[in-house]
Structure 1
Amino acid sequence: MESFRNFEHKFEYSIIGHSGDSPNLEFVKPGRYPKTEKDVFKVISQMSAHSQYCLSGDNTLSATSMAMREIIKEDADDYIVVVLSDANIGQVTSSMIFIGSLADQASKLKSALGSHAHVCMDTKDLPQIIKSIFLSSMV
């Protein structure tokens, strides 16, 4: 909320939480931003209270997927989804496979993500890529 202060005219944002209870907990709606420090405190208090009393579990991936689907419903110049999570990602081996690419977008993402990202420009290579993911998880 602090990051957007004085930029509300330029950016539209929402703050959506996720927990073991739900992948979609709306704390700040687009266009209905906290105006005072008291309003900001109310939002933070709601977030804190929810985190204390929610069920254990994690909806990070479903929340991220939902955010990506929802954000593109409105026409905009840019779309940005920022995910903050306390998920214990080390318990899960996750990989991304980028099928196709515009220019070198997939290669850049693969470079940033390291061994957990793969680029598949020809779908006949997909089984081998998936096999390599499984084999590397066994090491």
Structure 2
Amino acid sequence: SGDTPCAPLVEYGLPPTNEKERLKVVQRMAAHTQFCMSGDHTLEATRDAIAEVSTHLDDVDEAFVFVLSDANLERYGIRPSDLAKELTANPKVHAHACFLASLGGAAERLKAALPPGKASVCLDASQLPQAFRALLTAGVLGEEGGR
């Protein structure tokens, strides 16, 4: 977000266990996006997420980081090569950028500029569950995939 590279929605290891708790997470997420300042912390957030996940590599079979972005990186001086560097920082972590919005084809241009399998474009929110399923399956099978 424009406010911070880290806006915790749930505590690590304590996912919501029922519909009410999941709704509260969604409400916190919506409130944060509605009231945060303009800006972009994509690089810092990606770097921090990969560093955090990397501390748990001995405890897990697979490690994933999903970066959700509106693809408006150019506005803040973020080059595709900068994001590519962060996404590939630790080969043991499956890191992937998913662009959820696009102005003038920015999402497709970013996807094309990033390493194969490191980015996807999902402009229809109803397709997000299928997109994540495909990414998780590809990561587990060792095939970095992107739509």
TM-score (norm 2): 0.51
Which aligned pairs between 1:51-130 and structure 2 lie closer than 5 A?
51-74=33-56, 75=58, 76-91=60-75, 92-95=78-81, 96=84, 116=114
The answer for unaligned runs of 5 or more in structure 1 is 1-18, 103-112, 118-139
Higher RCO (Cα < 8 Å, 6 or more apart): 2
- Number of positions where the alignment pairs a residue of Structure 1 with one of Structure 2: 86
The residue that corresponds to 1:37 in the other structure is 19
The answer for unaligned runs of 5 or more in structure 2 is 86-90, 92-110, 116-147
Instruction: Answer yes or no: is the 8 Å Cα contact 2:2–2:39 preserved in 1.
Output: yes
Instruction: Answer yes or no: is the 8 Å Cα contact 2:40–2:73 preserved in 1.
Output: no
How far 1:43 sits from its partner (Å)? 0.5
Identity, in percent, stands at: 41
CA distance 1:51–1:115, change in 2 (3 Å): closer
Distance of 2:114 and 2:21 partners within structure 1: 40
**Aligned-pair Cα RMSD in Å:** 2.5
How far 1:114 sits from its partner (Å)? 5.2
* Offset from partner CA, 1:68-115 (integer Å, 9 cap, x none): 111011122221111111240344432146xxxx9xxxxxxxxxx655
Distance of 1:82 and 1:52 partners within structure 2: 21
- Compare CA radii of gyration and give the structure with the larger one: 1
TM-score (norm 1): 0.53
Q: What letter matches 1:93 in structure 2? A: R
